[in-house]
Amino acid sequence: MLEERENRSPTWQRFAEGHRRLTPPLSPSAGDVETARRAIAEAGPRVVLFGMTPALAGLGEDLTAFDHSQDVIDTVWPGDGAARRAVLADWLSLGEEVGRFDAALGDGALNSVGAALPEMMGVVARLLRPGGVAALRVFAAPEEPETPDDIRRDVLGGWTGNLHALRWRLGMALAADRPGRVLPVREIVAAFDALFPDRETLAAATGWSRSEIDAVDLTRDADYALAFPPVSTFADLARRHFAEVRVVEAGGYPLAARCPTLLLRR
Ligand SMILES: C[S@@+](CC[C@H](N)C(=O)[O-])C[C@H]1O[C@@H](n2cnc3c(N)ncnc32)[C@H](O)[C@@H]1O
């Protein structure tokens, strides 16, 4: 059981508040959901979902979603029913669930555990029965890192992304020289402030509204770190635990090429 202080973390409270406004690349597109649906279609009824991603909550006949934030469960989860339920738990301590599931789903879950990414890959595998499958969308840095200045020039020069895609591009660039490619999220906001001190100039160059741009402030005090490795690292980690590893990309939204789904079979 989680302590009250852990499951009421202000960071995830703020994530819950902002969740309604999430769009791809931060939430999955219809194409990403279809990729996941197809991947697990033949696996069996028992599905584990890491996080509360509403677009994935309707998949599977018997889905259990785990999240460590009661606020996210209360705000984001579309509600328990005959085919699904939300459970408050830390993914890294799901020790007794070994082999209980036919399929696993997650949207950015592997990035969300920061330095525990290698351990998390093992958790996903352990929860699945032999032959079970996982469909996990990831945020994967380019193999050749960008610099924050490259990104600034591109964005002010007419790049047609969105605010979330910009945040992730910055996160990937800043994480490139960190151990394990792990970056405290608040550093993304600090870099954003330094690169784009005048939000009106950014709004004029991109066509983004001030309310879209100001959403960057929701993660100003975030107290967690994200892992942003390249897709080759995700695939190498997956091969330690899974017999089959494939990477597919749905496309059709800003930064989609860096948001592929890992399709894994134990
Ligand atoms: C899976 S990610 C990304 C969310 C996603 N892209 C979406 O569309 O909702 C964020 C979620 O993971 C949860 N989370 C992060 N680390 C966790 C952990 N170690 N155990 C359980 N939940 C965790 C957070 O509370 C948050 O709800």
Nearest-CA residue for atom 7 of ligand 1:
53
Taking only the tens place, the pLDDT of each residue in 25-65 is 999 999 999 999 999 999 999 999 999 999 999 999 999 99
161-183 pLDDT tens trace: 999 999 999 999 999 999 999 99
State the pTM of this model. Answer: 0.94
- Cα separation of 111 and 199, whole Å? 28
The CATH architecture that domain 4-140+229-265 belongs to is 3-Layer(aba) Sandwich (3.40)
The H or E element spanning position 214 is helix 210-214
Residue 192 reports pLDDT greater than 60: yes
Express each pLDDT in 106-165 by its tens digit: 999 999 999 999 999 999 999 999 999 999 999 999 999 999 999 999 999 989 899 999
| 31 contacts: CB under 8 Å, gap ≥ 6 | 250, 251, 252
CA–centroid distance, residue 195 to ligand 1 (Å)? 28
- The ranges assigned to domains in the chain are 4-140+229-265, 148-226
Mean pLDDT of all residues in 185-193? 96
Question: Would you state the pLDDT for residue 37?
Answer: 98
* pLDDT value for 96: 84
Tokens at 224, concatenated: 């967690």
pLDDT of residue 6: 60
Ligand 1 pocket, CB under 6 A = 12, 15, 22, 26-27, 50-53, 66-69, 72, 90-92, 107-109, 112-113
DSSP state string for 121-190: HHHHHHHEEEEEEEEEE---B-SS---HHHHHHHHHTT----HHHHHHHHHHHHHTTSGGGEEETHHHHH
Q: Calculate how far, in angstroms, residue 251's C-alpha sits from the geometric centre of ligand 1.
A: 23
- What does the pLDDT read at residue 19? 64
CA of 67 to the centre of ligand 1 (A): 6
State pLDDT tens for residues 223-247. Answer: 999 999 999 999 999 999 999 999 9
For residue 196, report the distance from its CA to the centre of ligand 1, in Å.
28
Atom of ligand 1 nearest to the CA of 108: 3
Mean pLDDT of the chain: 93
Q: What is the whole-number distance in angstroms between the Cα of residue 54 and the centre of ligand 1?
A: 12
* pLDDT at residue 251 is higher than 70: yes
Q: Which of 77, 112, 124, 253 to mutate to test the pocket of ligand 1 (most atoms within 8 A of CB)?
A: 112
The reported pLDDT for the residue numbered 8 is: 67
Looking at the CA of residue 19, tell me the nearest atom of ligand 1.
Answer: 9
| pLDDT above 60 for 200 | yes
**107 CA → ligand 1 middle, Å:** 8
pLDDT of the residue at 218? 87
The lowest-confidence range among 8-17, 25-34, 96-105, 109-118 is 8-17
What's the whole-number mean pLDDT along residues 200-210?
A: 95
Give the per-residue pLDDT at 129.
98
CA of 204 to the centre of ligand 1 (A): 33
Examine residue 25 and say whether the peptide bond preceding it is cis (omega within 30 degrees of 0). yes
Which of 68, 73, 223 has most ligand 1 atoms within 8 Å of CB, for mutation? 68
